[in-house]
């Protein structure tokens, strides 16, 4: 269908469309044509949603929990989140400070729309999760990138951040554990970011989507540091922790002056998350305890295997302390253009990956590969790398 006279609103120019989808479509095409593809390009947990979550969904349906819910979230879920935040994240809030969202992406969308004024600068580490740049732009902000390479291994980030501060800086987005690099900010690093945020009077948007996937060190929520709760919006999702990418449920914690707008945004975008899904989410959030340690062990084994294999194949691959991605520097084996590197690797080894430049210019010369894969796939990849 085409029309010469109608066009979308001007703000369409501010939003991109994920390049990762382009790669996914390419892989699906190859598979449909009968080709074997070793898929490391994804961003999903390798296991199914746990039974205790699925059972709670079935129970909710049997009890006809299928009507409109309060648009901010059902009571049992808000209470489960409150208790979890206090016990696990060191974030002491009441249920009025929490809102249920349609996944982490929606939580982040509401956060940027709430915190950023047109003309504001928004700082974040790069390479970054691709939608962040779009969300910053769509809120009228301008990205100010800090290379992860400059931050990694430095415990006091104050000087680095100050050197990039601008007069219009208003927000800093902090993603730890990070996609795509797998970096995990230490308590000291977060303390230095917190000092900077107070000095510059910034709102912090914390993205803790991978909070449960830390293999070396511990996850620290920046909102738990002194003076941070009143200036931090923290976004969480059940997608990665509970293998619930398709359920679309997450939540955020925000200080009162910001929560008012977040509530209006949630009301006007989704008018609340699906009611039975919220009952299932409550079971997940409340359960958590014994679920993660064995899971983390499985991730750790996959990580170590893939990192070793890539380094043996001549890539320069750091061991990521968190999330489920490796981000090797592939320049010496595949050249510095990461789109070409992705194509070459796919053609010669059938391994699908994501070009690093998709995550910003700092990612050029790298590929992102997920180690959240079925058992055995990583061994096949290592074998395939021998034919490179
Ligand atoms: C860093 C980061 N934040 C947030 C999300 C949002 O996930 P979802 O919208 O599935 O909850 C993702 C998903 O890949 C992510 O990588």
- Report the CATH number at residue 364: 3.90.1150.10
Q: Is 45 in the pocket of ligand 1 (CB under 6 A)?
A: no
Answer yes or no: do 74 and 130 share one domain. yes
CA of 386 to the centre of ligand 1 (A): 33
Answer yes or no: do 26 and 101 share one domain. no
pLDDT of residue 292 exceeding 90, the answer is: yes
In this prediction, what percent of the chain has a pLDDT beyond 90?
91
pLDDT of residue 14 exceeding 70, the answer is: yes
Answer yes or no: do 194 and 134 share one domain. yes
Residue 343 placed within a domain: yes
pLDDT of residue 253 exceeding 70, the answer is: yes
Residues 6+ apart with CB under 8 A from 116: 122, 136, 139, 140, 141, 170, 171
Q: Is 135 in the pocket of ligand 1 (CB under 6 A)?
A: no
The pLDDT, as a whole number, for residue 16 is: 83
Q: Is 130 in the pocket of ligand 1 (CB under 6 A)?
A: no
Per mean pLDDT, which range of 2-11, 188-197, 208-217 is the poorest? Answer: 2-11
- Report the CATH number at residue 270: 3.40.640.10
Answer yes or no: do 185 and 236 share one domain. yes
Per mean pLDDT, which range of 13-17, 166-170, 219-223, 323-327 is the poorest? Answer: 13-17
Judge contact between 39 and 377, C-beta under 8 A.
yes
Residue 62 placed within a domain: no
The pLDDT, as a whole number, for residue 181 is: 98
The closest of 155, 229, 212 to 186, measured between CA atoms, is 155
pLDDT of residue 112 exceeding 70, the answer is: yes
- 217 band by pLDDT with thresholds 50, 70 and 90: very high
- 289 band by pLDDT with thresholds 50, 70 and 90: confident
Q: What's the pLDDT tens digit per position in 124-135?
A: 999 999 999 999
In SS3 terms, the chain reads as: CCCCCCCCCHHHHHCCCCHHHHHHHHHHHHHHCCCCCEECCCCCCCCCCCHHHHHHHHHHHHCCCCCCCCCCCCHHHHHHHHHHHHHHHCCCCCHHHEEEECHHHHHHHHHHHHHCCCCCEEEEEECCCCHHHHHHHHCCCEEEEEEHHHHCCCCCCHHHHHHHCCCCEEEEEEECCCCCCCCCCCHHHHHHHHHHHHHHCCEEEEECCCCCCECCCCCCCHHHCCCCHHHEEEEEECCCCCCCCCCCCEEEECCHHHHHHHHHHHHHHCCCCCHHHHHHHHHHHHHCCCCHHHHHHHHHHHHHHHHHHHHHCCCECCCCCECCEECCECHHHHCCCHHHHHHHHHHHHCEECEEHHHHCHHHCCEEEEECCCCCCHHHHHHHHHCCC
Judge contact between 254 and 262, C-beta under 8 A.
yes
Answer yes or no: do 147 and 168 share one domain. yes
Answer yes or no: do 256 and 155 share one domain. yes
pLDDT greater at residue 325 or residue 42? 325
Answer yes or no: do 180 and 219 share one domain. yes
- 22 band by pLDDT with thresholds 50, 70 and 90: confident
Number of domains the chain contains: 2
pTM for the whole thing? 0.96
Q: Which of 287, 308, 330 is the last residue of a domain?
A: 287
Q: Is 372 in the pocket of ligand 1 (CB under 6 A)?
A: no
The pLDDT, as a whole number, for residue 387 is: 84
Mean pLDDT of 290-319: 96
pLDDT of residue 1 exceeding 70, the answer is: no
Q: What's the pLDDT tens digit per position in 371-383?
A: 999 889 999 999 9
The pLDDT, as a whole number, for residue 288 is: 66
Q: What's the pLDDT tens digit per position in 152-167?
A: 999 999 999 999 999 9
Q: Is 103 in the pocket of ligand 1 (CB under 6 A)?
A: yes
Give me the domain span that covers residue 188.
68-287
In this structure, the residue with its CA closest to atom 6 of ligand 1 is 104
Q: What's the pLDDT tens digit per position in 337-384?
A: 999 999 999 999 999 999 999 999 999 999 999 999 988 999 999 999
CA of 135 to the centre of ligand 1 (A): 13
The pLDDT, as a whole number, for residue 3 is: 67
CA of 218 to the centre of ligand 1 (A): 20
Q: Which of 239, 258, 287 is the last residue of a domain?
A: 287
Mean pLDDT of 101-115: 98
The pLDDT, as a whole number, for residue 249 is: 98
Q: Which of 257, 272, 287 is the last residue of a domain?
A: 287
Answer yes or no: do 246 and 378 share one domain. no
Mean pLDDT of 170-193: 98
Residue 247 placed within a domain: yes
Residue 322 placed within a domain: yes
Q: Which atom of ligand 1 is nearest to the CA of 103?
A: 11
Answer yes or no: do 230 and 134 share one domain. yes
pLDDT of residue 247 exceeding 80, the answer is: yes
Residue 53 placed within a domain: no
Residue 57 placed within a domain: no
Q: Is 179 in the pocket of ligand 1 (CB under 6 A)?
A: yes
CA of 105 to the centre of ligand 1 (A): 6
Q: Is 129 in the pocket of ligand 1 (CB under 6 A)?
A: yes
Residue 2 placed within a domain: no
Q: What's the pLDDT tens digit per position in 254-287?
A: 999 999 999 999 999 999 999 999 999 999 999 8
The pLDDT, as a whole number, for residue 168 is: 98
CA of 104 to the centre of ligand 1 (A): 5
The pLDDT, as a whole number, for residue 5 is: 86
Answer yes or no: do 261 and 353 share one domain. no
CA of 6 to the centre of ligand 1 (A): 33
Q: Is 175 in the pocket of ligand 1 (CB under 6 A)?
A: yes
CA of 134 to the centre of ligand 1 (A): 14
Residue 61 placed within a domain: no
In this prediction, what percent of the chain has a pLDDT beyond 70?
99
CA of 239 to the centre of ligand 1 (A): 7
Answer yes or no: do 260 and 220 share one domain. yes
Answer yes or no: do 279 and 321 share one domain. no
């Amino acid at each position: 269908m085409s029309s010469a006279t109608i066009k979308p609103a001007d703000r369409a120019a501010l939003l991109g469309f994920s390049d990762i989808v382009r790669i996914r479509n390419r892989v699906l095409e190859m598979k449909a044509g009968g080709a074997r593809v070793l898929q490391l390009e994804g961003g999903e947990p390798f296991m199914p949603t746990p039974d205790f979550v699925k059972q709670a969904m079935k129970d909710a349906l049997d009890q006809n929990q299928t009507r409109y819910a309060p648009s901010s979230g059902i009571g049992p879920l808000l209470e489960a989140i409150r208790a979890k935040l206090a016990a696990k994240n060191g974030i002491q809030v009441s249920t009025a400070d929490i809102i249920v969202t349609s996944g982490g992406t929606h939580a982040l969308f509401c956060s940027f729309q709430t915190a950023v004024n047109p003309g504001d600068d928004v700082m974040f580490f790069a390479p970054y999760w691709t939608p962040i740049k779009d969300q910053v732009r769509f809120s009228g902000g301008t990205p100010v990138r800090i290379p992860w390479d400059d931050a990694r291994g430095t415990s006091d980030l104050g000087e680095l951040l100050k050197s990039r501060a601008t007069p219009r800086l208003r927000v800093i987005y902090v993603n730890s554990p990070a996609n795509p690099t797998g970096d995990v900010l230490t308590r000291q690093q977060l303390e230095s970011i917190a000092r900077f945020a107070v000095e510059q009077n910034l709102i912090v948007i914390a993205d803790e989507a991978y909070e449960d996937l830390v293999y070396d060190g511990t996850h620290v929520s920046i909102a738990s540091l002194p003076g941070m709760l009143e200036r931090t919006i923290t976004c969480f999702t059940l997608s990665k922790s509970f293998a619930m990418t398709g359920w679309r449920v997450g939540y955020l914690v925000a200080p009162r002056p910001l929560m008012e707008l977040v509530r209006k945004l949630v009301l006007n975008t989704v008018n609340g998350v699906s009611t039975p899904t919220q009952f299932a989410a409550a079971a997940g959030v409340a359960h958590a305890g014994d679920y993660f340690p064995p899971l983390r062990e499985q991730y750790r084994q996959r990580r170590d295997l893939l990192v070793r294999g890539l380094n043996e194949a001549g890539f320069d691959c750091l061991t990521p302390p968190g999330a489920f991605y490796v981000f090797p520097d592939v320049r010496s084996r595949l050249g510095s253009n990461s789109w070409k590197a992705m194509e070459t690797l796919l053609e010669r080894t059938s391994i699908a990956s994501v070009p690093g430049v998709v995550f910003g210019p700092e990612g050029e010369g790298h590929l992102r590969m997920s180690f959240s894969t079925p058992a055995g796939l990583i061994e096949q990849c290592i074998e395939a790398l021998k034919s490179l």
